[in-house]
Amino acid sequence: MKKQIITHSPQATKALAQQIALHLKDKAVITLSGDLGAGKTTFTQGLAKGLDIKKMVSSPTFTIMKIYIGRLKLVHIDAYRLEGLHQDLGFEELIGTEGVCVIEWPDYIKDLLPQSYLEIKMTRLDEDDRLIELISHGSTYSHILEKIE
């Protein structure tokens, strides 16, 4: 199942992510794709708020991974710096095992993705507008997309 939504501000992008977070369960995996500045971290901030995480979420570009605790644990991975890196970093122990795992730049670790996950593609239309395409891989995420407006 696919769904496309256009948001018109960073706040609207966060609100969409919050709405999705309300329906997430343990072991959820979300991938975020889009160019630099597309809103991936903004989306993750909204997701964190929806998971009752109080700590400020920032991009893990330089640390590769950050973990936050809320209603569910949030593992935020930025795989951008992993292009061409073929060594065991232990991500398979985190992806789809506990809490919610959000992966920015998933193409660089696509061999670690489970069969069931929510793919989110973000496209910057202009300064504030974003085209957000939600693609469910697995019935769990189709059910979530049916509830999103």
| Per-residue model confidence as pLDDT tens digits over 19-32 | 999 999 999 999 99
Give the pLDDT confidence score for residue 114 in this predicted structure: 87
Query: Hey, which residues does 101 pair with through a beta bridge?
Result: 29, 75
Give the pLDDT confidence score for residue 75 in this predicted structure: 92
Specify the CATH number for the domain of residue 90: 3.40.50.300
What pTM did the predictor assign? 0.88
Q: 């696919």: which residue's tokens? A: 2
Residue numbers of the domain that contains 104: 2-147
Structural tokens at position 135: 């693609």
Which amino acid, one-letter code, is at 133?
E
Element housing 5 (H / E): strand 2-7
Count: domains in the chain? 1
Q: 């964190």: which residue's tokens? A: 48
pLDDT band at 90 (very low <50, low <70, confident <90, very high): low
For residues 132 and 94, give the distance between their C-alpha atoms in angstroms, rounded to a whole number.
25
